[in-house]
């Protein structure tokens, strides 16, 4: 190239660089009604916990912007035999303290996640052993074939074995037992952010990890410091956003979403939830813990469960309470989950007269009293209040008991509620949902969140068959059979799928996943 041409090329390059917007390191302040409750990545399996824990901790597999599975701490995996998987680990990965991530840490982490106090064991059903092959290779040995084993490893965090041993946290925190451990307020992973401090129910601070293995990824944004602030009051949370005290609210009040969108001062990003809200019931005890019926459990009678479904005008609840920011559903899984059946997404129709007739046929002509448990977050509590009024009209005298998150969520895994509202946020594979919610509880990972201890041996066989079927077409067919059986039994009443709305300053650019979780590594602040 002639000297003049080279000079012009350099000059053009300088001009282009000068014109390109330079994103400086930024701070992001996020508010939500929910606190993560603990920093132990295996101690709790809760959406609001996952939002934070997996900014600090990586898994062997991750998800991309479109929520598709992608390599993370494992760079590749292979189904070496029908019941064995070999994973190659990413070289050069460092924990936040500078020590290397190796196969020893991976083996330790999986075994920790399998422990009795772990709430992540449900996703690892069928794992017989995990073995170190060399410093960057591990083998999983399963009891039966599993065509989608890599999917099971998402949200199973990798921890430092040395760090856990140093701080006496080799076992996961017993969250239900309200155990306090070093891992409750401290964490050390390989993720894009390290934990600076955590004040439960107040504030949590994260800082970008300078040695993050994925730092060169072109998708990585420019957020250096992050603060998560717990603000339970809807009005206060939104006021903080409007005044500029926070940059983003993960759960703006439903009644304000339309106004925020029309005013245009802030930005609202929306996506349909992959999760579902349900009612479920105690179906194991012969007498309810929290009811006025003696020597019987009304919820063991399918006609009573049907009566409750007919008594609920979910369309009206969505319209009036949720201001249209949800979709009523009769399906037990979202259309985004593999195996979804559109044919069962039609809700049981609102029909109070039929509800009363079913109650009378079941032996409860005057109804009965029961306590409805709900978390004390505004929109969910409002939904429960509306539901109790509707149930009252057919003779079911449901009294609402709203509890803070640290009291409410143990009721699910300990099955101490008689009647409860809760939500489940799955991944794309249906097996984890079927196993966690609908399989008989066995204390070793099956039915971990089966809050009513519903049990159907035929369904158990189907769920296990879903896990072990290697042919994906046959697997989907088995999921369909399982879903139809669940619909027939009605152990849960599906209610609605939310519209996930995040309100934020216009300078914030995010990738929105359908599980209501923000990947901070993708966020850019201009």
pLDDT of residue 22: 56
How would residue 478 be classed by pLDDT, with cut points 50, 70 and 90?
A: very high
Query: Token match 């759960």: residue?
Result: 251
Residues facing 195 on adjacent strands: 206
Full DSSP string of 417-454: -SEEEEEE---S-SHHHIIIIISPP-SSSTTTT-TT--
Report the mean per-residue pLDDT for the chain.
Answer: 93
Which CATH number is associated with domain 26-228? Answer: 3.40.190.10
Given a cut of 60, whether residue 8 has pLDDT beyond it is no
Rounded-to-integer distance, Cα 500 and Cα 251, Å: 8
| Coil vs helix vs strand at 103 | helix
Rounded-to-integer distance, Cα 208 and Cα 200, Å: 21
pLDDT of residue 147: 85
Write out the two tokens for 455: 């049990």
pTM of the model: 0.89
Q: What are phi and psi of 64, to 5 degrees?
A: -90, -170
Q: Which of 39, 32, 30, 54 is nearest to 427 (CA)?
A: 54
pLDDT of residue 443: 86
Q: How far is CA 121 from CA 213, 329, 449, 480, in A?
A: 27, 29, 11, 25
Q: What are phi and psi of 112, to 5 degrees?
A: -65, -40
Among the listed ranges 198-202, 393-397, 443-447, 510-514, which one has the minimum average pLDDT value? 443-447
Handedness of CA 472, 475, 477, 480 (dihedral sign): negative
pLDDT of residue 17: 37
How would residue 477 be classed by pLDDT, with cut points 50, 70 and 90?
A: very high
| Coil vs helix vs strand at 400 | strand
Strands 137-142 vs 203-208: parallel, antiparallel or unpaired: unpaired
For residue 477, what are the contacts with CB-CB under 8 A and spacing of at least 6?
Answer: none
Given a cut of 60, whether residue 1 has pLDDT beyond it is no
- Which spans in 81-232 are helix H? 103-113, 149-152, 161-166, 182-185
**Burial track 221-243 (b if 16+ CB lie within 10 A, e otherwise):** bbbbebbbbbbbebeebbebbbe
Which CATH number, 3.40.630.30, 3.10.105.10, 1.20.120.160, 3.40.640.10, labels domain 276-500? 3.10.105.10
Rounded-to-integer distance, Cα 251 and Cα 33, Å: 7
The torsion angle over the Cα atoms of residues 374, 376, 379 and 380, rounded to 10 degrees, is -10
349-377: per-residue pLDDT in tens? 999 999 999 999 999 999 999 999 999 98
Write out the two tokens for 489: 């039994």
Given a cut of 80, whether residue 34 has pLDDT beyond it is yes
For residue 442, what are the contacts with CB-CB under 8 A and spacing of at least 6?
Answer: none
Given a cut of 80, whether residue 111 has pLDDT beyond it is yes
Q: What are phi and psi of 35, to 5 degrees?
A: -100, 150
pLDDT of residue 445: 83
How would residue 444 be classed by pLDDT, with cut points 50, 70 and 90?
A: confident
Given a cut of 70, whether residue 6 has pLDDT beyond it is no
The torsion angle over the Cα atoms of residues 280, 286, 292 and 298, rounded to 10 degrees, is 50
Enumerate helices (H) and strands (E) in the chain, giving the number of each.
16, 20
Strands 248-249 vs 26-32: parallel, antiparallel or unpaired: parallel
299-313: per-residue pLDDT in tens? 999 999 999 999 999
Segments making up each domain of the chain, as ranges: 26-228, 276-500
Strand spans (E) along 313-355: 326-328
């Amino acid at each position: 190239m002639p000297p003049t041409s080279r000079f012009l090329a350099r000059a053009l390059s300088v001009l282009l660089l000068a014109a390109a917007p330079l994103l400086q390191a930024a701070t992001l302040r996020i508010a939500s009604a929910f606190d993560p409750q603990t920093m132990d990545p295996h101690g709790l399996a809760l959406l609001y916990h996952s939002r934070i824990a997996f900014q600090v901790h990586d898994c062997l597999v991750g998800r991309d912007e479109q929520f598709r599975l992608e390599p993370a701490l494992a760079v590749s995996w292979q189904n070496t035999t029908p019941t064995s998987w070999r994973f190659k680990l990413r070289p050069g990965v460092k924990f936040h303290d500078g020590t290397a991530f190796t196969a020893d840490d991976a083996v330790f982490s999986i075994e920790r996640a399998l422990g009795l106090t772990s709430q992540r064991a449900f996703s690892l059903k069928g794992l017989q052993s995990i073995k170190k092959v060399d410093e960057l290779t591990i083998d999983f040995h399963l009891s039966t074939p599993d065509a989608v084993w890599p999917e099971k490893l998402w949200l199973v965090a990798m921890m430092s074995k040395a760090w856990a041993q140093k701080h006496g946290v080799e076992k996961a925190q017993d969250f239900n037992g309200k155990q306090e451990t070093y891992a409750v307020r401290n964490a050390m992973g390989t993720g894009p952010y390290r934990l600076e401090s955590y004040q439960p129910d107040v504030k949590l601070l994260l800082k970008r990890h300078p040695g993050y293995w994925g730092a060169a990824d072109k998708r990585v944004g420019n957020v250096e410091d992050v603060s998560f602030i717990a603000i339970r009051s809807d009005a206060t949370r939104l006021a903080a956003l409007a005044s500029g005290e926070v940059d983003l609210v993960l759960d703006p009040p439903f009644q304000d979403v339309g106004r925020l969108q029309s005013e245009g001062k802030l930005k609202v990003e929306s996506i349909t939830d992959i999760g579902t809200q349900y009612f479920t019931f105690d179906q194991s005890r012969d007498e309810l813990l929290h009811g006025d019926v003696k020597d019987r459990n009304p919820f063991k009678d399918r006609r009573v469960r049907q009566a409750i479904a007919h008594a609920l005008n979910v369309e009206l609840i969505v319209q009036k309470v949720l201001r249209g920011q949800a979709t009523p559903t009769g399906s037990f899984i979202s259309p985004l989950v593999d195996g979804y059946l559109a044919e069962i997404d039609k809700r049981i129709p609102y029909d109070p007269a039929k509800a009363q007739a079913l109650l009378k046929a079941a032996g409860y002509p005057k109804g009965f009293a029961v306590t409805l448990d709900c978390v004390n977050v505004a929109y969910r509590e409002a939904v429960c209040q509306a539901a109790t009024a509707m149930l009252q009209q057919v003779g079911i005298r449901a009294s609402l008991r709203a509890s803070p998150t640290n009291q409410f969520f143990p009721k699910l895994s300990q099955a101490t509620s008689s009647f409860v509202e809760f939500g489940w946020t799955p991944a794309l594979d249906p097996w984890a949902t079927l196993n966690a919610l609908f399989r008989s509880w066995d204390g070793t990972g099956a039915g971990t969140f089966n809050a009513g201890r519903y049990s159907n041996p035929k369904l158990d066989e189907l769920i296990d068959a879903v896990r072990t079927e290697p042919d994906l077409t046959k697997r989907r067919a088995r999921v369909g059979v399982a879903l139809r059986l669940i619909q027939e039994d009605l152990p849960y009443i599906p209610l609605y799928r939310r519209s996930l709305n995040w309100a934020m300053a216009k300078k914030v650019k995010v990738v929105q996943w359908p599980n209501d979780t923000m990947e901070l590594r993708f966020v850019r602040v201009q």
